[in-house]
Amino acid sequence: MDQYTLNLLVVGATFALYIGIAIWARAGSTSEFYAASRGVHPVTNGMATAADWMSAASFISMAGLLAFGGYGASSFLMGWTGGYVLLALLLAPYLRKFGKFTVPEFIGDRFYSPTARMVAVICLIVASVTYVIGQMTGVGVAFSRFLEVEVSTGLFIGAAVVFMYAVLGGMKGITYTQVAQYVVLITAYTIPAIFISLQLTGNPIPGLGLFGDHTASGQPLLERLDQVVQDLGFAAYTVQDGTPSAVINMTLFTFSLMIGTAGLPHVIIRFFTVPRVADARWSAGWALVFIALLYLTAPAVGAMARLNIMDTLWPNGVQGEAMAIEEAPDWMETWATTGLLGWEDKNGDGRIQYYNDANADMQAVAAERGWQGNELTNFNRDILVLANPEIAQLPGWVIALVAAGGLAAALSTAAGLLLAISSAISHDLIKGQLNPGISEKGELLAARISMAVAIGVATYLGLNPPGFAAQTVALAFGLAAASIFPALMMGIFSTRINNKGAVAGMLAGLVFTLVYIFLHKGWFFIPDTNSFPDTISGSLLGIQSTAIGSVGALINFAVAYFVSNATEDTPQEIKDLVESVRIPRGAGAAVDH
């Protein structure tokens, strides 16, 4: 059986499974659509939460960033994992105890203000739409290679699958679909990693193989990788860039990812699906276990893939000759057809010289050998995990499984994000503001229509993403960090922050972060040229756009504090409500308001 047919069979079987689960778990009420009737078991919810949280950025993009960014890219690991711990300890149990369906509903009731609820809806939609763009990007990358279609066609297919099971099943269908998707994605991620670890180190556990010896050279694997990349003029893989701006950006970026993770609504609403507050805590613990299975493997996947690529392009080491173009392996040829990998023989010697042509030492080597610059002109980071089995020459069924896993990761998170968006529109905007008397049947219809529209918008924006999947997702985390997380923290742990302070803080954090991202990325519109420039227009103290969410969060906290202290005190009944949510009174059933 050829690889294309095998890919179709495996991916098609998983899609059939997802749609079948959605039909079985079809939501028949708003309670089922928004919160699965609060009847999900903690272990089941933990697995679904892990799938919801481990998006295309985790599965497809993170290892690629680790492979080419080395130590500096470890911010993704530290930020996302640390943020989940913050969410589990500081937010999830209290929000479940409050007993609402959505994050904006909590903010609206806690800050006793319809305006606060609407601002929270805006913040949620901005962050979630940005996040879902990254997921649709991952869907397009996976489809374009494994089903051999255009990226746009892949996006449309993925959108159709999400539409069928998310719109039909709501939270109930999404929950059980995500359980299946977690099984698919973790299996698809770990099996190739085990094979590759055995090939390179003889150790079947990738995390241990990473710190073991490289079989071919006898050197420690990471020492071997450092040597290879430094020979080609790149920075050592395991060494941090010690310049002040790099340290500041890494610190702020890690912090932004942490608090952004804790503020993302599509993960928070998962804790509304369990029966009791104690179950929310257990769900958080189980999810951390399921997440750790992938996150303890990702550093090994990135490092081993980078070494495999170096050995492919320089089969005899940098002192020998680069790979001849006619000897390019099949995986390079097939990925080149997608437009996500490319090379150019600049000096006409029939080989692909891959090196850091900005490095002064390598420029001298290049001049001596007649090289005309780096000839691997395009290597999209998002392809690395998907191409890994082909690079390591693993069996065809492993390649097909990885394709299904990448799609599962992207689709699971996309569904959760789209549910958060549709819930905010149907429950918080339509029922909460525009039409409070809407029937349950009408609200359920509005939720499904809202999700369908959100899928269409996400697909359209996914056609032209602002960066790699993980980079786009990082922007979403920054927006959530600057707008939603401070409001939730102050809402739970401070009785002094009032409605005016909360609204002012959210708006200040969101507007500052959005404007900075647009200015830093060069997305602002220039009327005279009728275009959007591609160049970076400047930065504040060298802070990157992906790290600015930390500063936005500090602005949110500061504005909320000063405005609250300059205006009237919080009503006593709201203070009592906050105390009842925050102070433990057993782990019994939460009260649904």
Indicate whether 68 pLDDT > 80: yes
At residue 584, the pLDDT reads 56
Confidence of residue 183 (pLDDT cuts 50, 70, 90): very high
DSSP state of 531: B
Confidence of residue 567 (pLDDT cuts 50, 70, 90): very high
Average pLDDT for 362-387: 89
What digits encode the pLDDT tens for the residues 26-43?
Answer: 777 787 777 777 888 999
At residue 545, the pLDDT reads 83
Listed in order, the ranges of the chain carrying CATH 1.10.4160 are 3-289+392-472
At position 429, the amino acid (one-letter code) is L
Confidence of residue 526 (pLDDT cuts 50, 70, 90): very low
Count CB neighbours of 560 within 10 A: 27
Q: Which residues contact 15 (CB under 8 A, 6 or more apart)?
A: 161
Indicate whether 117 pLDDT > 90: yes
What digits encode the pLDDT tens for the residues 45-61?
Answer: 999 988 888 877 788 78
How far, in Å, CA of 321 to CA of 229, rounded?
A: 16
For the chain, what is the radius of gyration of the CA atoms?
24
Confidence of residue 529 (pLDDT cuts 50, 70, 90): very low
Q: Which fold has domain 3-289+392-472?
A: Hydantoin permease (1.10.4160)
505-508's contacts with Cβ under 8 Å and 24+ in sequence apart are: 505/555, 505/556, 505/557, 505/558, 505/559, 505/560, 505/561, 505/563, 506/116, 506/119, 506/120, 506/123, 506/556, 506/560, 507/119, 508/555, 508/556, 508/559
How far, in Å, CA of 132 to CA of 476, rounded?
A: 9
Confidence of residue 460 (pLDDT cuts 50, 70, 90): confident
Choice among 153-167, 220-234, 343-357 with the minimum mean pLDDT:
153-167
CA dihedral 465, 469, 472, 476 (to 10 degrees): 130
- Backbone φ, ψ for residue 236 (5° rounding): -55, 140
User: Could you tell me if 522 and 534 are in contact, meaning their C-beta atoms sit under 8 angstroms apart?
Assistant: yes
Higher-pLDDT residue of 540 and 518 is: 518
Print the SS3 string covering 139-193: HHHHHHHHCCCCHHHHHHHHHHHHHHHHHHHHHHHHHHHHHHHHHHHHHHHHHHH
Token pair 């600049």 in the structure block, residue:
346
At residue 62, the pLDDT reads 86
Choice among 22-36, 208-222, 360-374, 472-486 with the minimum mean pLDDT:
22-36
How far, in Å, CA of 254 to CA of 212, rounded?
A: 28
Bridging pattern class, strands 378-379 and 341-342: antiparallel
Indicate whether 531 pLDDT > 50: no
End-to-end alpha-carbon separation of the chain, Å? 57
What helix, strand, coil percent values describe the chain, rounded to 5?
70, 0, 25
How far, in Å, CA of 49 to CA of 58, rounded?
A: 14
Indicate whether 533 pLDDT > 70: no
Choice among 95-109, 235-249, 253-267, 530-544 with the minimum mean pLDDT:
530-544
Choice among 96-110, 161-175, 396-410, 578-592 with the minimum mean pLDDT:
578-592
What share of the chain in percent tops pLDDT 90?
36
Whole-model pTM over 0.85 = no
User: Could you tell me if 319 and 351 are in contact, meaning their C-beta atoms sit under 8 angstroms apart?
Assistant: no
Q: Which residues contact 363 (CB under 8 A, 6 or more apart)?
A: 357
User: Could you tell me if 469 and 61 are in contact, meaning their C-beta atoms sit under 8 angstroms apart?
Assistant: yes
What digits encode the pLDDT tens for the residues 246-272?
Answer: 888 889 989 998 998 888 888 888 888
Indicate whether 368 pLDDT > 70: yes
In the three-class reduction of DSSP (H, G, I as helix; E, B as strand; rest coil), residue 589 is classed as: strand
DSSP 350-409: SB---S-TTSHHHHHHHHHHT--S----EE-GGGHHHHHHHHTT--HHHHHHHHHHHHHH
Compute CA 50 distance to the chain's CA centroid, rounded to the nearest angstrom.
12
Average pLDDT for 366-383: 89
Instruction: Provide the β-strand partners of residue 276.
Output: 589
Query: What are the tokens at 91?
Result: 């937010």
How far, in Å, CA of 520 to CA of 551, rounded?
A: 14
What share of the chain in percent tops pLDDT 70?
93
Q: Which residues contact 347 (CB under 8 A, 6 or more apart)?
A: 353, 370, 371, 372, 375
Indicate whether 551 pLDDT > 60: yes
Q: Tell me the C-alpha to C-alpha distance, in Å, between residue 312 and each of 234, 309, 324, 523, 582.
A: 17, 5, 10, 37, 56
